[in-house]
Amino acid sequence: MKEKEKMINGELYNANDEELVKDRNNARRLMKIYNNTTPEEGYIRKDVIKELFGKVGNDFYIEPPFACDYGFNIEWGENSYANFDCLILDGAPVKIGKNVLLAPNVKIFTATHPISPQLRKEGKEYAKPVTIGDNVWIGGGTIINPGVTIGENTVIGSGSVVTKDIPANVVAAGNPCRVIKNIEE
């Protein structure tokens, strides 16, 4: 099995694999183009994201600067928005639903490392997927850790560190992030 397949499947892999380095360099090339556009060049931004991401809706907006590891593992929902300084480490799939709002400086991590120092010295790592449901609002400065799912209609308060799954239809915040209250229409 190739290192790229191991990475996407959540198995230990070598991030210095030639194919993965090439993929990361391609993402960096595309992000450089994206991040150097002017507001009037929205058509360039859309084309770059459509080339970079694995799946994207027609209506979306991501404020530069934006950064990711690979891009091909990102599924970006229709009418979803990211404010300035969004970072997505997408060694594993990252699924962002429809009508999602990411405030400034939101970080989404799928990459993680083994506890064993020997495996870390060997350059081994692995990744766990992240899923964000439809109609979610993530507050500024939030960090979403590997393997987390955030349910639909949920609001995550600014500065939260999301270490575990958060259910649908709640307000959650803190470090570690925890449910504060249910959302009632």
The three-state (H, E, C) secondary structure of 57-125, written as one string: CCCEEECCCEEECCCCCEEECCCEEECCCEEEECCCCEEECCCCEECCCCEEECEECCCCHHHHHCCEE
Q: What is the domain partition of the chain in residue ranges?
A: 3-182
3-182 maps to CATH 2.160.10.10: yes
Q: Residue 111 in contact with residue 146, Cβ under 8 Å?
A: yes
Q: Could you confirm whether 113 is annotated as catalytic? A: yes
pLDDT digits (tens, 9 = 90+) for 78-136: 999 999 999 999 999 999 999 999 999 999 999 999 999 999 998 899 999 999 999 99
Q: What is the mean pLDDT of the chain?
A: 96
Among residues 4, 50, 55, 113, the one annotated as catalytic is: 113
Residue 185 is predicted with a pLDDT of 67
What stretch of H or E contains 55? strand 55-56
Percentage of residues in the chain with pLDDT exceeding 90?
Answer: 95
